[in-house]
């Protein structure tokens, strides 16, 4: 008591970082803006409509789910906005809006809230929702429904085309140049095409220390290495192999996945070693699906599979407490066995 007023008594420390969950999520939203702007340029204003639907449905789903489960409201942390945004960037522009809305409901209610909400889900909501939509509405989600970039500017009806990944290597197919791939002038999901915008967003997140460079670098690095070898085997020249690798890196949802989805806190390992293992695992699976699978794209499945392995990865990569002697380490490992 001082001057008759009670003092606050709490456990140390008495200082806290100014970072909050909301600020972190806001940073992710900021990092996604370049990709969103690029997709508006290439796929037209309908992009914004799809995004508005997924974001609004995600936030509403979160609100209702929390209300029904009698838990405190969490829409203020903006994580539902991030999920909605990332889901939108994973959808083609001509996706029916009701399908987009179903995606958000699956992501928030089934994948996130059924397992306890933020920080508790074991699979990435946006990725799982994308896979659910892909399997449920295959014709709307892939195949021949892709809209050619910039066609919204033309007078004709939307021109459909295939994605570069589906075209690559097919005889007579006209594929975009590497420069087009870099700036995003290609068919694909809304937010996955513009490599430069995704790189800017990714670097922003790393610079702001929202994510660590480890998962994206391990993911892209291991993927590039496999593709380089595969390209060399296919083309038998270093130059062509390099071009092939660059093409592969900028195709599909790899950049979006590596920077924005594989780095999801809830569904990736906390430890440094775990992050590298996780990233390399994603890289290998993506490469294998692209090289040998029947699907043209493997980012979503790669990340989902690695999501499921996170508890095991963490178990083997948890660092020993400071100063644990080497001998004891071995003894403990033997104990664990």
Partner 1 sequence: MTKTVVDGVLRAVKKVRGGVKVDHHKNTAHKKVERLPIPSKVVIPMQQHIGAPCEPVVKVGDVVAVGQLIGDTDKYISAPIHASVSGTVVAVGDVKMPNGTMSKAVTIESDGEMRLWEGIKPPVVETREDLIKAVRDSGLVGLGGAGFPTHVKLNFPADKNIDTLIINAAECEPFITVDYRECVENSKNILAGVYLLKKMLGFKQVIICIEDNKPDAFGVLKDIADHEQDVYDEVKLMVLESKYPQGAEKMMVQSATGRKVPPGKLPADVGCVVMNVASVAFIARYVRTGKPLISRSITVDGSAIKKPNNIRVPIGTNIGEIIDFCGGFSKEPCKILTGGPMMGLAIVGTDLPILKQNNAILAFAKDDAVLKDETDCIRCGRCAIACPMSLMPTNIVRAAKAKDVDMLNHAGITVCMECGSCAFACPAGKPLVQHMRLAKAILREEGKK
Residues in contact with partner 1 by CB under 8 A are 1-3, 5, 7-17, 19-21, 23-24, 74, 77, 79, 117-119, 265-266, 270-271, 318-325, 328, 332
Q: Which residue lies nearer to partner 1 by CB, 23 or 140?
A: 23
Nearest to 264 by CA among 170, 62, 129: 129
Q: Which DSSP helix (H) or strand (E) runs through 147? A: strand 146-147
C-alpha to C-alpha distance for 24 and 18, rounded to whole angstroms = 11
Q: Which residue lies nearer to partner 1 by CB, 210 or 226?
A: 210
Supply φ then ψ for residue 160, to 5 degrees: -95, 155
The CB density around residue 79, as the number of other CB atoms within 10 Å, is 27
Q: How far, in Å, are 18, 25, 76, 259 from residue 22 at the CA level?
A: 11, 5, 7, 19
C-alpha to C-alpha distance for 183 and 194, rounded to whole angstroms = 5
CA quadruple 25, 29, 31, 32: dihedral positive or negative? positive
Q: Which residue lies nearer to partner 1 by CB, 264 or 297?
A: 264
Nearest to 300 by CA among 69, 135, 56: 135
Question: CB of residue 273 vs partner 1: minimum separation in angstroms?
Answer: 12
Q: Which DSSP helix (H) or strand (E) runs through 185? A: none
Q: Within a 13 Å sphere around the CA of 212, how many CA atoms are in the beta-carbon half?
A: 15
Q: Which residue lies nearer to partner 1 by CB, 177 or 318?
A: 318
Question: CB of residue 246 vs partner 1: minimum separation in angstroms?
Answer: 32
Q: Which residue lies nearer to partner 1 by CB, 25 or 36?
A: 25
Question: CB of residue 257 vs partner 1: minimum separation in angstroms?
Answer: 19
Question: CB of residue 281 vs partner 1: minimum separation in angstroms?
Answer: 18
Q: Which residue lies nearer to partner 1 by CB, 184 or 269?
A: 269
Question: CB of residue 144 vs partner 1: minimum separation in angstroms?
Answer: 40
Q: Which residue lies nearer to partner 1 by CB, 126 or 166?
A: 126
Question: CB of residue 324 vs partner 1: minimum separation in angstroms?
Answer: 6
Q: Which DSSP helix (H) or strand (E) runs through 160? A: strand 160-161
By the 8 A CB rule, do 261 and 86 touch? Answer: yes
Question: CB of residue 173 vs partner 1: minimum separation in angstroms?
Answer: 43
Question: CB of residue 130 vs partner 1: minimum separation in angstroms?
Answer: 21
Cis peptide before 186 (omega within 30 of 0): no
DSSP state of 146: E
Q: Which residue lies nearer to partner 1 by CB, 15 or 153?
A: 15
Core vs surface per residue 262-298: b (16+ CB within 10 A) or e:
bbbebbbbebeebbbbbbbbbbbbbbebbeeeeebbb
């Amino acid at each position: 008591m001082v001057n008759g007023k009670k003092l606050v008594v709490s456990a140390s420390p008495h200082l806290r970082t100014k970072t909050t969950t909301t600020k972190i999520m806001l940073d992710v939203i900021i990092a996604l803006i370049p990709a969103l702007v690029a997709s508006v340029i290439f796929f037209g204003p309908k992009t914004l409509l799809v995004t508005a639907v997924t974001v609004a449905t995600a936030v509403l789903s979160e609100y209702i789910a929390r209300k029904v489960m009698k838990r405190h409201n969490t829409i203020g942390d903006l994580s539902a906005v991030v999920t909605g945004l990332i889901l939108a960037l994973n959808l083609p522009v001509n996706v029916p809006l009701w399908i987009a809305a179903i995606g958000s409901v699956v992501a928030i209610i089934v994948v996130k809230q059924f397992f306890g909400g933020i920080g508790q889900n074991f699979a990435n909501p946006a990725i799982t929702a994308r896979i659910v939509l892909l399997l449920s509405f295959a014709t709307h989600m892939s195949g021949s429904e892709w809209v050619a970039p910039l066609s919204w500017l033309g007078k004709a009806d939307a021109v459909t085309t295939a994605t570069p990944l589906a075209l690559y290597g097919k005889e007579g197919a006209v594929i975009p140049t590497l420069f087009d791939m870099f700036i995003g002038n290609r068919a694909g999901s809304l937010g996955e095409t513009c490599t430069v915008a995704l790189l800017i967003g990714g670097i922003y997140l790393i610079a702001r220390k929202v994510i660590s460079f480890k998962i994206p670098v391990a993911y892209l690095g291991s993927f590039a290495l496999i593709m380089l070898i595969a390209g060399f085997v296919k083309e038998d020249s270093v130059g062509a192999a390099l071009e092939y690798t660059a093409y592969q890196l900028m195709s599909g949802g790899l950049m979006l996945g590596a920077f924005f989805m594989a780095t999801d806190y809830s569904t990736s390992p906390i430890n440094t070693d775990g992050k590298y293992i996780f990233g390399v695992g994603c890289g290998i699976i993506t490469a294998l699906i692209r090289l040998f699978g029947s699907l043209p794209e493997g980012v979503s499945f790669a990340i989902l599979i690695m999501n499921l392995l996170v508890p095991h990865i963490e178990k083997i990569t948890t660092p020993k407490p400071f100063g644990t002697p080497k001998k004891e380490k071995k003894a403990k490992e033997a104990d664990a066995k």
